[in-house]
Amino acid sequence: MELLKSDPPITRLLLKWYEENKRELPWRGTTDPYRVWVSEVILQQTRVAQGWDYYTRFIQRFPNVEALALADEEDVLLMWQGLGYYSRARNMHFAARDIMGRFSGKFPEKYSDILSLKGIGEYTAAAIASIAFNAPHAAVDGNVLRVISRLFALTESIHTAKGKKVVTEISNSLLPVQEPAAYNQAIMDFGSMVCTPKQPRCTDCPLQEFCIARLSNRVEEFPVNTKKKSSRKRYFNYFHILHGNDTYIAQRVKEDIWKGLYEFPLVETREPVSLDELLKNADVRDLLTNDQSLAIDSPSSVLHVLSHQRIYANFYRVVLPDNAEFYLPEHFIRIQRAELDLYPIARLTGKYLESIEES
């Protein structure tokens, strides 16, 4: 690792710490921009421990930009199943096709070109540019916002444009021209391992003599966060229809959560409702129009928490006689129960299926 005497002391100490403590990760050591991109997108909303296996499987299935671009979206979503935030996978798929078209299949090197790809923001573009091409761009993620805010006791909220601008300017001033990739990875690891959101390891911190928050005994006050979290409640009523060895699913096509994934017939209500109330619902009557004797079990209830939504789901198991003639609207498909694994589904549906397997 090549450092200059002109590099700030904080930078030199951070890189020394990184050399001795960096995590061994499957994407470390690569300068392949495609692999850096995949790892960064996976880790945007995913813990490293969970992301590791997904990264390995994703790279095995789609080893390069061309393989991803040529894949069907359903195949991409199936490989992403369980990670959540499926727009990440759809954006990557779109961007891979964009790279094949605009850049003749070669991952762009310029920061501005990387930033122009769908789903890539300033942080991811900086991470790819620095790690793959050694370009001097500071990558500012949640870890960096926290570390810099504490080191310099920044009073601006990290969720304001001004606060992020201040952190970015400081980060760029600390960036060693010779080692931008190592610095970006070092400060991210440092935020994950030492300067953690709760109970930071201040006594083990190699930067404690420079940390204004630590020196003033105000570590817990930083970073300043004025973002208000709001959570929308939604009530989903699913019908798991069993017809011999078959069941029915449909693909979500609206601009909403889980677009492109498959699910059982669904009726969403504005508030919790009983089965008796549900059966009076016009949407349910339209769904279950067949003159059949429907055996409907008590619901299996599942709570699923997303970043800005709480989904209260009831899954009603509906059993039809094997010889019954039953039809749903044409956007539903009838499949064998054993084939469910071939379709990408939301984690919510996965939780329900796991619960009935265990019962």
Q: Is 221 a catalytic residue?
A: no
- SS3 letters for 165-198? HHHHHHHHHHCCCCCHHHHHHHHHHHHHHCCCCC
Query: Which one of 2, 40, 73, 263 is the catalytic residue?
Result: 40
CA–CA gap between residue 349 and residue 238 (Å, rounded): 9
Give the integer Cα–Cα distance in Å for 123 and 289: 51
Listed in order, strand segments (DSSP E) in the chain are 232-243, 246-251, 262-263, 266-269, 295-296, 300-305, 309-320, 332-336
Contact status, residue 107 vs residue 96, Cβ threshold 8 Å: no
Tell me the sheet residues that pair with 335: 247
Contacts of 218 (CB under 8 A, 6+ apart): 153
The length of the chain is: 359
101 Cβ contact partners less than 8 Å away, ≥ 6 residues apart = none
Phi-psi region of 280 (alpha: psi -120 to 50; beta: other; left: phi over 0): alpha
Other beta carbons within 10 angstroms of residue 122's beta carbon come to 16
Strands (E), 65-176: none
| Catalytic (active-site) positions | 40
